Chain A
Amino acid sequence: MLTFAIWVGFVLLSLSLLLNFWRLLVGPEVIDRILALDTMYINTIALIILYGLSAASGLYFEAALLIAMLGFVSTIAVCKYLLRGDIIE
């Protein structure tokens, strides 16, 4: 049962990554692309946690935490740049 659930989770998360990637390519404005990238970061965190669960190893949380931080900081930096024309004033 857990194996089945893990496979379904992999399939659903991969499909959602594909949908995000489509929005990243199509996105009519810059801000849609930023949102798509941010969502891709969050979905990747979920995918890594799922992989850690399937490999029965706790080593992947550090990677997930790192990706979470990098995604947050990069999104805020791009937003700041679009708002003010500068990142650190």
Chain B
Amino acid sequence: MHFEVHLPFWLEALVAFFLLLGAVFAFIGSIGLARLPDFYSRLHAPTKATTLGVGGMLIASMLHFSYAQGSLSVHEILVAIFLLISAPITAYMLSKVALHHQSPSVQNTQGQDLPQQLQQEWHRERIKSKTDKPKLPG
């Protein structure tokens, strides 16, 4: 592995720092995914720590390529914005599915009866939307 660009020392240190930060955060997120006890707590680790890890990598890559090209490199911002938008939506959908399937949580979680309540509410809404269908004319 060789590098065509020779960065000045301070920039190399900065790029290496952000690279290590990103890699460590991604690793912490994966450890959390592997070790935390129930799904609701497991959901936190990848959606927050891993996204931050990718963010660190993207900052390092931006610094490196901005110096190498001699102009500001903005490709990475696209990936970063897309990830920052999509990660919360994914987490929301996954937690909704977990509540829907009544995924078990650890004993000392508050609001243990929330899944049942939501289930009844959704059931009621579904029945209501079925009976409230607009009648076709004629």
Chain A interface (Cβ within 8 Å of chain B)? 1-6, 8-9, 12-13, 15-17, 19-20, 22-23, 29-32, 34-36, 38-39, 42-43, 45-46, 49-50, 52-54, 56, 58, 61, 64-65, 68-69, 72, 75-76, 79-80, 82-83
The 6 closest A-B pairs by CB, nearest first: A16-B30, A5-B16, A79-B93, A39-B46, A9-B23, A12-B23
27 contacts between A and B (CB under 8 A): A1-B13, A2-B12, A2-B16, A4-B16, A5-B20, A9-B19, A9-B22, A15-B30, A17-B30, A20-B30, A20-B34, A31-B97, A32-B39, A32-B42, A38-B94, A42-B83, A43-B50, A50-B23, A53-B61, A56-B5, A61-B78, A64-B79, A75-B90, A79-B90, A82-B100, A83-B96, A83-B100
